[in-house]
Amino acid sequence: MTELKSSIDFTKIDKILSDYGYEKTNLITVLQKVQEVYKFLPEDAITYIGDKIEGLSPATVLGVATFYAQFSLEPKGKYEIKVCDGTACHVRGSLPVLEAIKEKLPMENGKMTTKDGLFSVETVSCLGACGLAPVVVINEKVYPQMTPEAITLIIDTLMKEEGR
Amino acid sequence: MEKTALNTDIKKEQDKAQELIKKQGLRVLVCAGTGCVANGSMQVIEKFRELGADVAVLSEQDKMTTVPTGCHGFCEQGVLVTIPDLKVTYVKVKVSDVEEIFESHIKGGKPVERLLYVDPMTHNHVMDDEHINFYAKQTRTALKNCGNIDAESIDEAIAVRGYEALYNVLEENDPDKVIETIEKSGLRGRGGGGFPTGRKWRFTAANKGGKSYVVCNGDEGDPGAFMDRSVMEGDPHKLLEGIAIAAFAVGADEAYIYVRAEYPLAIKRLRKAIKDAEERNFLGNNIMGTNFNLTIHIREGAGAFVCGEETALMASIEGERGMPRPKPPFPANKGLFGRPTLINNVETLANVPVIILNGADWFNKMGTETSKGTKTFALTGEVNNTGLIEVPMGTTLRQIIFDIGGGMREGKKFKAVQIGGPSGGCLTEEHLDIPMDYDNLIKAGAMVGSGGLVVMSDKTCIVEVARFFMNFTTNESCGKCVPCREGTKNMLAILQKIVKGNGTMEDLDKLEELAEVVKAGSLCGLGKTAPNPVLSTLKYFKDEYIAHIKDKKCPAGVCKALKRIVIKEEICKGCTKCARNCPVGAIEGTVKNPHKIDQSKCIKCGACLNACPFKAIVSE
């Protein structure tokens, strides 16, 4: 096998792989841990994992990585904004909230992360906090009962903190 | 059969745990579920603790302890603070309110009226849960301890008879009798399908001998449902106990709990609960001194709705793409890693310990002829009291929405209720009085599903809701079956056309035709039920579809494309303000003459609406 040349530090992945015994059945957990490190799944990491775990190929790993919504093949922002668009949030107006975010944080077509890498925006289908609808989560912090005005203020504050 | 001697004395453990709770003195229960944490309950808890620890005034006998509990279910009123000894529940408590509660009520004996719940119907202040309709009209069994105990303390679970059912079962040492009890109780799968739980256990137990597994399905993917989250967060030991009893009954020694990654708090509490239970020897090897072993693993899902389907879920545990496979073979014969597997939903398993403790007859007295016991529902949408509720099977929608739910929000008019998430359907006013159970709901074109109840008002567009669900199932279709993968996509395209005002009457026939194909040609429940939201709304709200198609109007005023902004000529003074504010130059007119909007140019941004000083511009 040819040695992979990459900007990625494979020792971190090696550690994760050995923690989970190079087991095929632990693939999803391995990918979750790798994503925790890089905030996304770099292509080289996918190839590497596919080569290292017996019985898997890079193609299979990519197949798994693209199947689950949690995995991202492109880098996410420093602030990961998740707009819940579950039924309860939808009925109580999650779309205007999403529109307000998109207006505030313009992105190139088809991209989910701002150019400066500060924010990424995605919708999720239910966070199970329906009593607080509509809900937005930014880096694990839950913001209840959002309105377009409220989320704009929150983003403003975050931007200020970042000196933008 | 002879009783087995166990090395644990559960009664003694209970006494010890209850003694510990007694020593806590006045218990201040603060909800620390996902909802309340978002509203700041951690800070509230800290403040209570600070005040409670600080004050020497509180002598040993009236010591107080602040207990972070699981979800009370009434998330919208969070942060919830309950002090059972003072018979009071405070709602919407903020850190700044804590001192007042402490000084005025805990020390001074005078309740803080402004923090009491106000009944939306009578506008009266209500002191405690017994008098808050939201709670008073519920029957809580699966959720019984949620909100009453510290979810992270095994002692608190033991004090409310946690692990007593497991103890009894192990002492009797008769797996077959356990299965018999569950069969007799009439418990059916709470995840949606409603398959008789006891029968599932019996099928799996029939393959006893080699390695077998129990899998707990906590992949609560239905948007709008969060009962499993509440059980896992609020009473994790009950779930573990249910799993242990199931494993004992079917002869498994390994179990997996598959939890959505979107529920980090549930995962954290389950992990702690497993560790604590292992330390007490309620899990692990030679449980309570018997030869029953059980290891419970947690697997985090990675965000795929289809993994709620049992064969897809097992594929996911095995590290593969979560795609369903044909049945048979059923999991009971060939499941996880090719071994016999019992797979049950969280709520189902949480009912097991209670049934063992109180007996099958106690359980099957509740509910209807074919659906026994209680069911949790996540009540959300346009009602006053949203939250998690548990009621006996057979309760009517009217009781749920208008008694427990406190009626419609902001005086809006009830239009429909969507039951069972993307697999369910919409029911209308005419269904408000049917007793809800598995079979009645199917007859009405919906299903219990996981128990999401989204109440919709006249301000909710039914066609848009159908589009919403179809969009969900299209995204979540795993792609294995072509009718589901392509059919849902095409149904979505038609719905999008309709909400944009470009639909035709033939489209409605096409929708129905596609719905039949998707239903008939899909392997798993996702595809088989994906057309339900469309079919049920077509059945009960066809006029609303027609309004979108023929009149190009959205009766609820939701669909943006069908909105028209017009200037009322009789009011317009011709001030030109609107024309100057219009970003696309769609408004024509001369000074002091009525202006007009060119609908082909208008982007419906509403800038003119806000600019007009005479309220001459309206959206219709």
Per residue in B433-491, pLDDT (tens digit) is 999 999 999 888 888 888 889 899 988 899 999 999 999 999 999 999 999 999 999 99
Whether the ω angle into residue B328 lies within 30 degrees of 0, i.e. cis, is yes
Please identify which residue in the block is written with the tokens 């995840």: B191
Q: Assess A21–B contact: CB distance below 8 Å, yes or no.
A: no
- Domain segments of chain A as ranges: 10-67, 79-161
Neighbours of B277 (CB within 10 A): 25
State residue B61's pLDDT score: 53
State residue B60's pLDDT score: 53
Chain B residue closest in CA terms to A30: B319
One domain for residues B470 and B413: no
Tell me, yes or no, whether B473 lies in a domain.
yes
pLDDT at position B53 over 90: no
Model pTM?
A: 0.91
Mean pLDDT of B191-217: 94
Complete DSSP assignment for B79-140: SPEEEGGGTEEE-S--HHHHHHIIIIIIIT----GGGBEE-TTT--EE-SGGGSHHHHT---
Tell me, yes or no, whether B139 lies in a domain.
no
Domain A79-161 is of which CATH architecture?
3-Layer(aba) Sandwich (3.40)
Residue B337 has φ and ψ, to the nearest 5°, of 50, 30
Mean pLDDT of B298-327: 94
One domain for residues B402 and B358: no
One domain for residues B192 and B76: no
> Could you tell me whether strands B596-597 and B617-619 are parallel, antiparallel, or unpaired per DSSP bridges?
unpaired
Tell me, yes or no, whether B102 lies in a domain.
yes
When pLDDT is cut at 50, 70 and 90, the band that residue B191 belongs to is confident
One domain for residues B441 and B589: no
Residue B298 has φ and ψ, to the nearest 5°, of -115, 130
One domain for residues B216 and B306: yes
Q: Assess A54–B contact: CB distance below 8 Å, yes or no.
A: no
Percent residues over pLDDT 90 in chain B: 74
Q: Assess B454–A contact: CB distance below 8 Å, yes or no.
A: yes
Residues in chain A within 8 Å Cβ distance of B300: 28-29, 32
Percent residues over pLDDT 70 in chain B: 98
**B300 vs B455: CA distance, rounded Å:** 31
State residue B414's pLDDT score: 95
Residues B76-105 pLDDT 10s: 888 999 999 999 999 999 999 999 999 999
- Spell out the SS3 assignment of chain A: CCCCCCCCCHHHHHHHHHHCCCCHHHHHHHHHHHHHHHCCCCHHHHHHHHHHCCCCCHHHHHHHHHHCCCCCCCCCCCEEEEEECCHHHHHCCHHHHHHHHHHHCCCCCCCCECCCCCEEEEEECCCCCHHHCCCEEECCEEECCCCHHHHHHHHHHHHHHCCC
Which of B487, B515, B549 represents a domain boundary (last residue)? Answer: B549
Residues in chain A within 8 Å Cβ distance of B39: 132, 144
Q: Which helix or strand (DSSP H or E) is residue B465 part of?
A: helix B462-476
pLDDT at position B55 over 80: no
- Strand residues in B552-601 grouped as ranges (E): 565-567, 587-588, 596-597
One domain for residues B122 and B38: yes
Residues in chain B within 8 Å Cβ distance of A127: 34, 262
Residues B330-378 pLDDT 10s: 999 999 999 999 999 999 999 999 999 999 999 999 999 999 999 999 9
State residue B415's pLDDT score: 94
State residue B59's pLDDT score: 54
Reported ipTM: the value is 0.89
pLDDT at position B383 over 50: yes
pLDDT at position B535 over 70: yes
CA dist B498 → B464, B554, B599 (Å): 9, 10, 19
One domain for residues B297 and B169: yes
Neighbours of B172 (CB within 10 A): 15
Chain B residue closest in CA terms to A138: B38
Which of B129, B145, B163 represents a domain boundary (last residue)? Answer: B129
Residue B595 C-alpha, separation from nearest chain A C-alpha, in angstroms: 29
> Which SS3 state, helix, strand or coil, does residue B377 take?
strand
pLDDT at position B58 over 60: no
State residue A5's pLDDT score: 57
**B321/A125 CB distance under 8 A:** no
Tell me, yes or no, whether B143 lies in a domain.
no
Which residue among A126, A141, A143 sits closest to B223, beta carbon to beta carbon? A126
Residues B5-24 pLDDT 10s: 899 999 999 999 999 998 88
Residues B254-272 pLDDT 10s: 999 999 988 989 999 999 9
Strand-pairing partners, residue B42, are none
State residue A1's pLDDT score: 46
State residue B377's pLDDT score: 94
One domain for residues B178 and B246: yes
Neighbours of B20 (CB within 10 A): 14
| Long-range Cβ contact pairs of B536-539 (< 8 A, separation 24 or more) | B536/B424, B536/B425, B536/B426, B536/B427, B536/B445, B536/B446, B537/B425, B537/B426, B537/B462, B537/B463, B537/B465, B537/B466, B538/B508, B538/B511, B538/B512, B539/B445
Which residue type sits at A47?
T
Which candidate, B478, B476, B507, B504, places its Cα nearest to that of B490?
B507
One domain for residues B304 and B221: yes
B-contacting residues of A 62-91, CB under 8 Å? 63-64, 67-71, 85-88, 90-91
**A23 vs B430: CA distance, rounded Å:** 55
How many alpha carbons fall within 13 Å on the CB side of residue B127? Answer: 10
Which residue among A67, A125, A129 sits closest to B35, beta carbon to beta carbon? A129
Domain that holds residue B226: 154-363
Q: Which helix or strand (DSSP H or E) is residue B315 part of?
A: helix B310-317
Residues B576-612 pLDDT 10s: 999 998 888 899 999 999 999 998 888 877 788 888 9
**B184 vs B360: CA distance, rounded Å:** 6
One domain for residues B252 and B222: yes
Residues B489-526 pLDDT 10s: 999 999 999 999 999 999 999 999 999 999 999 999 99
Tell me, yes or no, whether B368 lies in a domain.
no
Please identify which residue in the block is written with the tokens 């069994």: B141
One domain for residues B210 and B335: yes
**B223/A87 CB distance under 8 A:** yes
**A67/B304 CB distance under 8 A:** yes
Counted domains in chain B: 5
**A133 vs A83: CA distance, rounded Å:** 10
Which candidate, B350, B441, B430, places its Cα nearest to that of B388?
B350
State residue A127's pLDDT score: 82
The chain-wide mean pLDDT, for chain B, equals 92
**CA dihedral in degrees (A36, A39, A40, A42; nearest 10)?**
-90
Q: Assess A95–B contact: CB distance below 8 Å, yes or no.
A: no
- Residue pair B238/B157 in contact (Cβ under 8 Å)? The answer is yes
Tell me, yes or no, whether B415 lies in a domain.
yes
> Which SS3 state, helix, strand or coil, does residue B435 take?
strand
**B229/A128 CB distance under 8 A:** yes
Tell me, yes or no, whether B142 lies in a domain.
no
Q: What is the pLDDT along chain A (164 residues), one digit of tens a residue?
A: 445 556 788 999 999 999 999 999 999 999 999 999 998 999 999 999 999 999 999 999 999 999 999 999 988 899 999 999 988 888 888 988 999 999 999 888 778 889 888 999 999 888 878 888 899 999 988 999 999 999 999 999 999 999 87
pLDDT at position B227 over 70: yes
One domain for residues B436 and B474: no
**A126/B262 CB distance under 8 A:** yes
State residue A9's pLDDT score: 84
Tell me, yes or no, whether B554 lies in a domain.
no
Please identify which residue in the block is written with the tokens 């798993």: B524
Longest dimension (CA), chain B: 99
